[in-house]
Amino acid sequence: MQIDNYLIRQTSLEKLFNNLIGNGKTVFAPQASEKRILFEKVKAFSEITDNYLVTTNAAKSVVFPRTEKLFSYKKTKETTEITDASTEAVPEVVLWGTRPCDAAAFIPLTDTFNGDYPDILYNNRRGKVYLLSFSCATCDEYCFCTSVNGSPGNTAGSDILFTKLSTGDYLAEVITEKGKKLVAENQTLFEAAPEEEKEPNLAKVKTYFNQDEIQAKLQNLFENPVWDEKSRACLGCGSCAFVCPVCSCFDIQDEKHGSKGTRLRCWDSCGFSLFTLHTSGHNPRETQGARWRQRILHKFLYMPDKSKVAGCVGCGRCSRVCPADINILETVTSI
Amino acid sequence: MNNPNIYIPYLMRIEKITQEAPGVKTFRLKFENKQEAEEFEFKAGQFGEYSIVGVGESTFCIASSPTRKGYIECTFRQVGRVTSALASAEEGDVIGFRGPYGNTFPIDEWKGKNLVFIAGGIALPPMRCVIWNALDLRENFEDITIVYGARTVADLVYKHELEEWGNRPDIKLVTTVDPGGETPDWKGEIGFVPSVLEKVAPSAENTIAIVCGPPIMIKFTFPVLEKLGFADHNIYTTLENRMKCGFGKCGRCNVGEKYVCIDGPVFSGEELKLLPAEY
Ligand SMILES: Cc1cc2nc3c(=O)[nH]c(=O)nc-3n(C[C@H](O)[C@H](O)[C@H](O)COP(=O)(O)OP(=O)(O)OC[C@H]3O[C@@H](n4cnc5c(N)ncnc54)[C@H](O)[C@@H]3O)c2cc1C
Ligand code: SF4
Ligand code: SF4
Ligand code: FES
């Protein structure tokens, strides 16, 4: 699709925000708390911070909640009645302030929840999400989007991408139908495209590796000491998976209250020792090294083999959050 | 499945419960919804998620043959929380079932061949489905041999069917129990499945071998088959990695790049050799 360029004044961003709220949309945006910046539901423009690199948590919970009802049931003497959770209305959600890596992460995430078995719960939510991303002007040593086919000004996945220019105003690249719809609803706020180039306003993210080369190398790396070596300090806490915008492994659990209850889908992680444990006690992934290998191979080999897109967008969240200082970039570049 | 929400199970009424062995039961299940019953189709080798709402889901293969319409059966061993809840269900109760999932035994490709079924312990259910499928189409196949073993005589499942198969002139049935597991009137073999198989020594000529059992049995059976001259592509087995979703999303059942729930559970010996040891 042809990308339309506009200028939006710094002062108009708040108007855009207010219009979105006024139109009944729920807005999630980066909000500063004591130590962290989190994607949270916001009601006023003043609650949003623009002083952040990436949020600590990923925006995925908007389409893939941490726990989600699949259905509810009621058991009677005679039978069981099931109420489908996918018929419940889901709100229109604007993700305001996603980074280009966050937006790109929705591509592999959507792949996972589709294929031969389209997941209507995910798709219902995803269909109602608008992604208004902001390019990155800064990066840190954990960022590596340019190694996984991304960039600090990448438009893939976003509906609109804003890039702050030297004047303080923004270049608005309108990428999708959804983006165009928002522009049409807020026409007066979008002015003729600026003259200024986008590129000089973007962070310079070092390219550490080439994803295709890593993919090729991993083909023959299943049995390798690197997995144990790099995961020796791993606590198996699962934080890396929970903050990852692409990780989508889940568990299915039932919750019961008397004769009623729900079946839930809950985030899970391949890093947990119980993840693959058979009831017999046998565990196909016995060691933390085997689990770390699964995480790397899934993201950098299995996913790109299957759908051409890697399962990592280089946001660096997992490495920033890891209590054992395990660094995915360090593992991948050591291969 | 016709429900757009892929997590919603069919409601199934337990029509009949058979106690097969200590801790092992077979459920015959009928669809509560007539239309669902009519539309439901599956093939030998496929599995499903059986559930008690409020407790959870558990993965079993469909143990009845696709040639027997109107119901499905599963045979399971009580080992954990969900299987315990299922084991305490009674005839007439309603349980949940999602499926069928996974690939199938390529039974159409086996036309005109001899079949050797080798099973150990509770692993007869996935095999039973394909055995009955083959027996219901008996004229399509040459010799059919079944080698089945369990720890003790009491642990043998499908006792009535074993008797029926044993009496049929068109099947060669060999049953065995582990040393010490025999009873005074036991007429079958005594010994582990791989060594009994070696003794039975089925010809590998124009023959397909189907092997299901605990990992240890599989491990020792493959070399015997190799010795008997079976090529890897003429051997089939099933893998049982822990599952949740059954349709390639929850991320826990993969062996290397292959998802047991989608690419399996049926694998040929040839495919198995290419897989990393992650099962
Ligand atoms: C393709 C396939 C076919 C199979 N066919 C058969 C068959 O025909 N017959 C048969 O008997 N078996 C079969 N099995 C094995 C069978 O699925 C398991 O034996 C059975 O699911 C385990 O029993 P359970 O659910 O009661 O175990 P539980 O251990 O009670 O597990 C139930 C659920 O509770 C949760 N849970 C339990 N313990 C923990 C824990 N410590 N931490 C977190 N969560 C936990 C998990 O979500 C788990 O799924 C098959 C398996 C596969 C993969
Ligand atoms: S694996 Fe780490 S760096 Fe890659 S997308 Fe997930 S959180 Fe970001
Ligand atoms: S966050 Fe670090 S310690 Fe926790 S599971 Fe991930 S790699 Fe291991
Ligand atoms: S059982 Fe969920 S991915 Fe295979």
Show the 3-state SS of chain A.
CCCEEEEECHHHHHHHHHHHHHCCCEEEEEEECCCCEEEEEECCHHHCCCCCCCCCCCHHHHCCCCEEEEEEEEECCCCEEEEEHHHCCCCCEEEEEECHHHHHHHHHHHHHCCCCCCCHHHHHHHHCEEEEEECCCCCCCCCCHHHHCCCCCCCCCCCEEEEECCCCCEEEEECCHHHHHHHHHCHHHCEECCCCCCHHHCCCCCCCCCHHHHHHHHCCCCCCCHHHHHHCCCCCCCHHHHHCCCCCCEEEEEEEECCEEEEEEEECCCCCCCCCCCCCCCCCCCCHHHHHHHHHHHHHHHHHHHHCCCCCCCCCHHHHHCCCCCCHHHHHHCC
ipTM score: 0.92
- Phi, psi of A326, rounded to the nearest 5 degrees: -85, 130
Q: Does residue A235 line the site of ligand 3, with CB under 6 A?
A: yes
Reported as a single tens digit per residue, the pLDDT across A292-333 is 999 999 999 999 999 889 999 999 999 999 999 999 999 999
Residue A38 has pLDDT above 60, yes or no: yes
Q: What angle do CA A145, A149, A152 make, to 5 degrees?
A: 45
Number of independent structural domains in chain A: 1
With cut-offs at 50, 70 and 90, classify the pLDDT of residue B214: confident
Say whether pLDDT at A120 is over 90. Answer: yes
Question: Mean pLDDT, to the nearest integer, of B35-45?
Answer: 92
pLDDT at B1 over 80: no
Nearest CA-CA partner of B149 in B114, B170, B122, B183: B122
Q: What's this model's pTM, rounded to 2 decimal places?
A: 0.93
Answer yes or no: is pLDDT of B79 > 70.
Answer: yes
Which 8-state DSSP code applies to residue B155?
G
User: Is the distance from CB of A48 to CB of A162 less than 8 angstroms?
Assistant: no
Q: What is the pLDDT of residue B125?
A: 85
d(Cα B141, Cα B114) in Å, to the nearest integer? 6
**What pLDDT sits at residue B216?**
84
Mean of all residue pLDDT scores within chain A: 95
Q: How far apart are CA B70 and CA B49, in angstroms?
A: 18
Q: Is residue A129 scored above 90 in pLDDT?
A: yes
Over the stretch B63-76, which tens digit does the pLDDT of each residue have?
Answer: 998 888 889 999 99
- Averaged pLDDT, B91-119: 96
Please give the average per-residue pLDDT across B35-41, as a whole number: 92
Could you read off the pLDDT of A58-108 as tens digits, one per residue? 999 999 999 999 999 999 888 899 999 999 999 999 999 999 999 999 999
Range of the domain at A266: 4-60+73-333
Cβ contacts of B260 within 8 Å, gap of 6 or more: B102, B239, B240, B241, B243, B253, B254, B279
Q: Please tell me the distance from the alpha carbon of residue A75 to that of residue A78, in angstroms, as a whole number.
A: 8
Compare B215 and A167 and report the one with higher pLDDT. Answer: A167
Decide if pLDDT at B96 tops 80. Answer: yes
Q: What is the pLDDT at residue B224?
A: 95
What per-residue confidence (pLDDT) applies to A33?
86
Residue B118: the pLDDT is: 96
- With an 8 Å Cβ cutoff, are A71 and B7 in contact? yes
Show me where the domains of chain B are located: 10-101, 107-238
Looking at the partner chain, which of B3, B53, B256 has a beta carbon nearest the beta carbon of A222?
B256
For B129: left if phi > 0, alpha if psi spans -120 to 50, otherwise beta; the answer is alpha
Which stretches of chain B sit within 8 Å of chain A by CB?
3-9, 11, 32, 51, 53-57, 79-80, 83, 94, 96, 215, 240-242, 244-245, 247-257, 262, 276, 278-279
Count CA atoms closer than 13 A to A220's CA, side-chain side. Answer: 3
Asked if residues A107 and A145 have their Cβ atoms less than 8 Å apart, the reply is no
> Among the listed ranges A82-96, B43-57, B119-133, which one has the minimum average pLDDT value?
B119-133
Overall average pLDDT of the A37-66 stretch: 94
Cβ-based contacts under 8 A for chains A and B: 118
Q: What is the C-alpha to C-alpha distance for residues B61 and B44, in angstroms, rounded to an integer?
A: 9
Ligand 1 within 6 A of B189 CB? no
- Per-residue pLDDT at A279: 86
Under 8 Å between Cβ of A215 and A297: no
Ligand 1 close to Cβ of residue A274 (< 6 A): yes
Question: Which residues in chain A are closer than 8 Å to B279, comparing Cβ atoms?
Answer: 284
- Across the interface, which of A113, A254, A276 has its CB nearest the CB of B241? A276
Point out the residue among A252, A278, A285 whose CB comes nearest to the CB of B278: A285
The confidence score (pLDDT) of residue B2 equals: 64
Phi, psi of B75, rounded to the nearest 5 degrees: -125, 130
Q: B139, exposed or middle or buried, with CB in 10 Å at 0-12, 13-18, 19+?
A: exposed
CATH 1.10.150.570 fits B107-238, yes or no: no
- Burial bucket for residue B108 (CB in 10 Å: 0-12, 13-18, 19+): exposed
Q: B121 pLDDT band (50/70/90 cuts)?
A: confident
Task: Label residue B3 by pLDDT band (50, 70, 90).
Answer: confident
In a domain, A67, yes or no: no
Ligand 2 binding pocket (C-beta < 6 A) is A 243-246, 299, 312-318, 328
Across A151-163, average pLDDT:
97
pLDDT value of residue A77:
81
- What is the structure's pLDDT at A76? 87
**Residues A171-186 pLDDT 10s:** 999 999 999 999 999 9
Is residue B157 pLDDT above 60, yes or no?
A: yes
Are A135 and A152 within 8 A, CB to CB? yes
CA distance B223 to chain A (A): 22
Which tens digits make up the pLDDT trace of B183-203?
Answer: 999 999 999 999 999 999 999
The stretch B4-17 carries a mean pLDDT of 96
Q: Residue whose CA is closest, atom 2 of ligand 3?
A: A322
Does residue A330 contact residue A230 with C-beta atoms inside 8 Å? yes
CB of residue A323 inside a 6 A radius of ligand 3: yes
CA dist A164 → A141, A151, A196, A287, B214 (Å) = 22, 15, 10, 46, 61
pLDDT > 90 fraction of chain A, expressed in percent and rounded: 94
For residue B249, the chain A residues in CB contact (below 8 A) are: 112-113, 117, 119, 248, 250
Q: Whose CA is nearest to atom 7 of ligand 2?
A: A244
Cβ atoms of residues B87 and B78 within 8 Å: yes
Name the minimum distance, in Å, from the CA of A25 to any CA of chain B: 25
Q: pLDDT tens for residues A225-255?
A: 999 999 999 999 999 999 999 999 999 999 9
CATH numeric code, B10-101: 2.40.30.10
DSSP B97-127: EEEEES----GGGGTTSEEEEEEEGGGHHHH
Name the band, by pLDDT with cuts 50, 70 and 90, for residue A275.
very high
**Cα three-residue angle A60-A294-A266, rounded to 5 degrees:** 35
- Residue B129: nearest ligand to its CA? 1
Q: Is residue A267 part of a domain?
A: yes
Give the best residue of A254, A257, A283, A296 to mutate against chain B (max B CB count within 10 A).
Answer: A254
What mean pLDDT, rounded, does chain B reach?
93
Q: Tell me how close the Cα of B246 comes to any Cα of chain A, in angstroms.
A: 10
pLDDT greater than 80 at residue A1: no
The alpha-carbon gap from A118 to the nearest alpha carbon of chain B, in Å, equals 8
